[in-house]
C-alpha cells in the first residue's frame, strides 16, 4: 500500500532476475544452449539442464533443474561445451569433454544415446585432445572441433553417431566454435529478407559451416562436400571463441571484444563493431527479429539489430550490465524468444531479462 492509501500496481522486478540452479557455470565459452523445453550449460564435469514451462523463466512457473555427469572413464574429465543440436530424428543434447569424449543424450538428458572418444595419443607424454565446438546441419551431420585443430564429422542417425571424416587441412591450433547455416534459420521468413542478405551483397549462403580457432582464423566449409572454400585470417592472430553463421554472414565474436561480420558471398570483412571491452564469450541470434545478442566477460550484454535490405546499418538496441558477472553463456529463450538467458562463471544462477532490458508493460507476479 502506498502512503496515499491506494493500492499500487505490482512493480516489475529489477532485471536481470536470478533463478537459482545451485550449480555454477564453468568458464567456457558458449556456455548456454536452449531447446524447446530446456536450457543447458556446463558445470565442471556435469551438464545442468533447466526445464522451463511457459513463462517459467520469469519466475511465475515451474523451474526444474537436473544434473547429468559426463560419462567418462577418466577421472577429472571436464565438459568443454554442451549444445542442443537438431537432427531429422529429433533434438539431442551433445556434450564434448577435455579428454576427447563426445556424448549425445536425448533432449531431456535422460538417456545417453551414444558416445565417441578420440583415441589417446600413443606417446603418453602428449596431452589428451580436447573436444570443443559443436554444430549440426539439422539433418544427420554432427561436426565437432578439437584442440589439435582437426574437425570430426559424424553421421548421426536415430541417435547413433559414427565418425565419417576428419578434416585436418586448415586449423593447426585449437578450434573453439563451429556453426552451420542451419543454426539460425527463421521459419516463415523468406524472400529477400531471409537469411541476412543486405542490399547488393549477393544471395544468402546456405549449406555452409564455419569454424574458428585460437588464432582467430575462420574457415568456411561446404557442408555437402566438406571442402574448405575460404579462410579469413586475423592479422593479429587473436583468438575468437564464438561465431554464428546467419545467412550471408559469418559473425565472429573475438577475444578483443569485437564482433566481425564476414560476408560469405563475396569473401570479405564487411563490418566490425567494437562491442565489448573484454572477450566475447557467447552470442545468439533471433533470425525472425534479426537481433544479435552478445555476452562478454566484461559483464555486459549487448543487443543489436542486424542490417537488412530495408535498413542496411547495424543498430545498437540495448547495453545492459550484469554486475560482478563474467558472462559465459547467452541464449534467447522463452515465448517468441523474448527473453535473454545468461550464465556467468562461478555463479549458481540462470539470469533472465526481457530482450528490451526490462521495459515490460505488464508483469504477473508469482
Partner 1 sequence: MSLLSMPFLIINFGGEMIYVLEQRLHAQNIPKDKSNKVLQDVTRAMFSPKFIQELMKPQEIYSPSSTREIFDRLAHSSIMRLSESSMDKLYDLMTMGFKYQLVSCTHPRELAEVTLNHLDAIRTAVSTSDSTVEQVDAAIAQFVKLCKELSSAEFAQIRQTLAAFFQDKRIKVSLFLQDNIQNPDGTIALTKGGPIPNDATLEAPGAIRYYENGSVTATEKFDSPLTGTIGEQLAGDVYDPKARDSKLGKNLYTIDRKKPDAKKTPAAKPSSTASSTTTSTQKLKENKGSAVPELNALRELIGGGGANDFKITNLFGDESGGDGAGAKNRDIVINKVERATLLGGIEEEFSKLGGDSSAKDLGDLYDEIAGN
Residue number with CB closer to partner 1 (127 or 202): 127
The answer to whether the CB of 80 falls within 8 A of the CB of 28 is: yes
Cβ-Cβ contacts under 8 Å for 218 (sequence gap 6 or more):
210, 211, 212, 231, 232, 240, 243, 250, 252, 262
75, three cell numbers = 577421472
Q: How far is the CB of 242 from partner 1 (least distance, A)?
A: 13
Look at the block and give the residue holding cell 543498430: 315
The answer to whether the CB of 115 falls within 8 A of the CB of 77 is: no
* Residues lying near partner 1 in the complex (CB under 8 A): 24, 26-28, 44, 75-76, 78, 98, 127, 130, 173-174, 214-215, 236-239, 255-257, 268-279, 298-300, 313-316, 319, 321, 323-326, 345-347
Q: How far is the CB of 28 from partner 1 (least distance, A)?
A: 7
Residue number with CB closer to partner 1 (208 or 212): 212
How far apart CA 330 and CA 16 sit, in angstroms, is 13
- The pair phi, psi for residue 167, each rounded to 5°, is -105, 115
Q: Check the CA dihedral 348-183-77-68 and report its sign.
A: positive
DSSP 195: G
Residue number with CB closer to partner 1 (28 or 153): 28
Q: How far is the CB of 217 from partner 1 (least distance, A)?
A: 11
Residue number with CB closer to partner 1 (165 or 313): 313
Q: How far is the CB of 25 from partner 1 (least distance, A)?
A: 9
How far apart CA 186 and CA 287 sit, in angstroms, is 5
Residue number with CB closer to partner 1 (193 or 272): 272
Residue number with CB closer to partner 1 (27 or 139): 27
Residue number with CB closer to partner 1 (204 or 344): 344
Q: How far is the CB of 274 from partner 1 (least distance, A)?
A: 4
Q: How far is the CB of 124 from partner 1 (least distance, A)?
A: 12
Question: Would strands 101-106 and 268-274 be described as parallel, antiparallel, or unpaired?
Answer: unpaired
Q: Which of 219, 184, 215, 190 is nearest to 203 (CA)?
A: 190
Q: How far is the CB of 224 from partner 1 (least distance, A)?
A: 29
Count of Cβ atoms closer than 10 Å to residue 104 Cβ: 22
Q: How far is the CB of 299 from partner 1 (least distance, A)?
A: 6
Q: Which of 82, 147, 153 is nearest to 121 (CA)?
A: 147
Residue number with CB closer to partner 1 (195 or 307): 307
How far apart CA 106 and CA 85 sit, in angstroms, is 10
In sequence order, the β-bridge partners of residue 29 are none
Count of Cβ atoms closer than 10 Å to residue 67 Cβ: 14
Amino acid at each position: 500500500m502506498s502512503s496515499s492509501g491506494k493500492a499500487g500496481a505490482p512493480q516489475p522486478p529489477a532485471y536481470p532476475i536470478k533463478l537459482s540452479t545451485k550449480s555454477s557455470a564453468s568458464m567456457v565459452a558458449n556456455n548456454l544452449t536452449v531447446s524447446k523445453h530446456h536450457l543447458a550449460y556446463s558445470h565442471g564435469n556435469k551438464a545442468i539442464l533447466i526445464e522451463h514451462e511457459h513463462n517459467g523463466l520469469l519466475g511465475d512457473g515451474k523451474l526444474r533443474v537436473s544434473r547429468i555427469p559426463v560419462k567418462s572413464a577418466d577421472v577429472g574429465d571436464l565438459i568443454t561445451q554442451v549444445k542442443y543440436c537438431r537432427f531429422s530424428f529429433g533434438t539431442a543434447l551433445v556434450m564434448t569433454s577435455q579428454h576427447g569424449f563426445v556424448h549425445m543424450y536425448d533432449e531431456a538428458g535422460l538417456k545417453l544415446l551414444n558416445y565417441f572418444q578420440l583415441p589417446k595419443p600413443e606417446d603418453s607424454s602428449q596431452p589428451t585432445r580436447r573436444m570443443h565446438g559443436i554444430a549440426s546441419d539439422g539433418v544427420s551431420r554432427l561436426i565437432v572441433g578439437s584442440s589439435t585443430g582437426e574437425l570430426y564429422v559424424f553421421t548421426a542417425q536415430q541417435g547413433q553417431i559414427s565418425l565419417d571424416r576428419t578434416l585436418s587441412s586448415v586449423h593447426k591450433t585449437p578450434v573453439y566454435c563451429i556453426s552451420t547455416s542451419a543454426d539460425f534459420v527463421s521459419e516463415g521468413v523468406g524472400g529477400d529478407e531471409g537469411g541476412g542478405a543486405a542490399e547488393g551483397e549477393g544471395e544468402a549462403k546456405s549449406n555452409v559451416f564455419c569454424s574458428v580457432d585460437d588464432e582467430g582464423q575462420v574457415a568456411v566449409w561446404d557442408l555437402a562436400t566438406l571442402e574448405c572454400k575460404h579462410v579469413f585470417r586475423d592479422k593479429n592472430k587473436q583468438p575468437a571463441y564464438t561465431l554464428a553463421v546467419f545467412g550471408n554472414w559469418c559473425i565472429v565474436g573475438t577475444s578483443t571484444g569485437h564482433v566481425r561480420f564476414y560476408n560469405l558471398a563475396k569473401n570479405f570483412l564487411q563490418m566490425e563493431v567494437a562491442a565489448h571491452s573484454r572477450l566475447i564469450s557467447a552470442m545468439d541470434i533471433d533470425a525472425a527479429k534479426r537481433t544479435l545478442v552478445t555476452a562478454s566477460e566484461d559483464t555486459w550484454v549487448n543487443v543489436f539489430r542486424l542490417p537488412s535490405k530495408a535498413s542496411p546499418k547495424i543498430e545498437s538496441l540495448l547495453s545492459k550490465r550484469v554486475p560482478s558477472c563474467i558472462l559465459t553463456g547467452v541464449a534467447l529463450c522463452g515465448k517468441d524468444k523474448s527473453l535473454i538467458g545468461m550464465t556467468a562463471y562461478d555463479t549458481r544462477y540462470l539470469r533472465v531479462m526481457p530482450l528490451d532490458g526490462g521495459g515490460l508493460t505488464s508483469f504477473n507476479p508469482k
